[in-house]
Amino acid sequence: MLLKTVRGFTPEYGSECFIAENATLIGEVRMGSQCSVWFQAVVRGDVNCIQIGDRVNIQDGVVIHGTFETAATTIGNDVSIGHNALVHGCTIEDKVLIGMGSIIMDHCVIGKGSVIAAGSVLPKNTQVPPGSVYAGVPAKFLKPTSKELMEGEIERIARNYITYSSWFTQE
């Protein structure tokens, strides 16, 4: 992994985290425990802070960034961010699934228990109410999150990534 200090800030992360050898964490990044940052992911806290909760998986090729002086990035607990997603200057609450290739722009807020479908684009200032499924370009409300979707996808994927990361940390 590449950990880089910028503007006096060095990335920090909790216990039981897996960070792939070619993942990059830069600057003001604070990440909780049991998180994973996968291959070629970049968490770039050079221009604004990035706060990440516990049990967050940042999958291959994800980029997390913010906007200088105007848009920090905050990610809650039990969040899965799918391969090649872009998360920029936004707030993602607990138990959220961000689908592969999605783009989440500045000042978006994604409410607890929501799903952003693969390939969706959330323009600046989009507010996703808790328990919502959003899809499309630009993303629009599709349906409420069902119990099956919450347990069968959001919670299952977050749990599975803790297991997957354990395979890489065993001697």
- Return per-residue pLDDT of the chain as tens, 171 residues: 999 999 999 999 999 999 999 999 999 999 999 999 999 999 999 999 999 999 999 999 999 999 999 999 999 999 999 999 999 999 999 999 999 999 999 999 999 999 999 999 999 999 999 999 999 999 999 999 999 999 999 999 999 999 999 999 876
The one-letter code for the residue type at 105 is M
Q: Give the residue among 37, 64, 45, 33 at the shortest CA–CA distance from 5.
A: 45
Give the Cα separation of 171 and 157 in Å (integer).
Answer: 24
Give the Cα separation of 104 and 86 in Å (integer).
Answer: 6
Q: What is the pLDDT of residue 171?
A: 60
5, burial (CB in 10 Å: exposed 0-12, middle 13-18, buried 19+): exposed
Q: For strand 97-98 and strand 115-116, is the pairing parallel, antiparallel, or unpaired?
A: parallel
Give the Cα separation of 91 and 148 in Å (integer).
Answer: 24
CATH 1.10.110.30 is the classification of domain 2-169: no
Give the Cα separation of 138 and 68 in Å (integer).
Answer: 24
| Domain residue spans of the chain | 2-169
Q: What is the pLDDT of residue 117?
A: 98
Go through 112-151 and write b for each residue having 16 or more CB atoms within 10 A of its CB, e for each that does not: bbbbbbbbbbbeeebebebbbbbbeeebeeeeebeeebbe
Q: What is the pLDDT of residue 123?
A: 98
Residues in contact with 19: Cβ distance below 8 Å, sequence separation at least 6, in sequence order: 1, 13, 25, 36, 37
